[in-house]
Chain A
Amino acid sequence: DAKTTQPPSMDCAEGRAANLPCNHSTISGNEYVYWYRQIHSQGPQYIIHGLKNNETNEMASLIITEDRKSSTLILPHATLRDTAVYYCIVRVAGSSNTGKLIFGQGTTLQVKP
Chain B
Amino acid sequence: GAVVSQHPSWVICKSGTSVKIECRSLDFQATTMFWYRQFPKQSLMLMATSNEGSKATYEQGVEKDKFLINHASLTLSTLTVTSAHPEDSSFYICSARDGSGNTGELFFGEGSRLTVL
**Is the CB–CB distance between A98 and B106 below 8 Å?**
no
Complex: chain A residue closest to B93, CB-CB: A43
Q: Is there a chain A Cβ closer than 8 Å to B16's Cβ? A: no
CB of B113 within 8 A of CB of A45, answer no
Residues of chain B contacted by A32 (CB below 8 angstroms): 103
Residues of B within 8 A of A44 (CB): 44, 93, 95, 108
Question: Interface majority SS on B: helix, strand, loop or mixed?
Answer: strand
- A99–B43 contact, CB under 8 A? no
Is A105 interfacial (CB 8 A cutoff)? yes
How many B residues, CB 8 Å from partner? 27
Complex interface: stretch among A62-70, A71-79, A89-97 = A89-97
| Contact (Cβ within 8 A) B44 A103 | yes
Total inter-chain residue pairs, C-beta < 8 Å: 63
Which residues in chain A, 37-84, are within 8 Å of chain B measured between CB atoms?
Answer: 38, 41-46, 49
- Assess whether A41 is in contact with B91, with CB atoms less than 8 Å apart: yes
Q: In the assembled complex, which residues on chain B have CB atoms less than 8 Å from the CB atom of A94?
A: 102-104
B111 lies within 8 A of A42 (CB): yes
- With A41-B91, A98-B49, A101-B34 as known contacts, state yes or no: A93 contacts B104, CB within 8 Å: yes
Q: Is the CB of B1 within 8 A of A46?
A: yes
B-to-A contact residues, CB < 8 Å: 1, 4, 6, 32, 34, 36, 43-46, 49, 91, 93, 95, 97, 99, 102-111, 113
| Complex A-B: 17 CB contacts under 8 Å | A36-B108, A43-B93, A43-B111, A44-B44, A44-B95, A46-B105, A49-B103, A93-B103, A94-B102, A95-B102, A98-B49, A99-B34, A99-B106, A101-B46, A102-B46, A103-B43, A103-B46
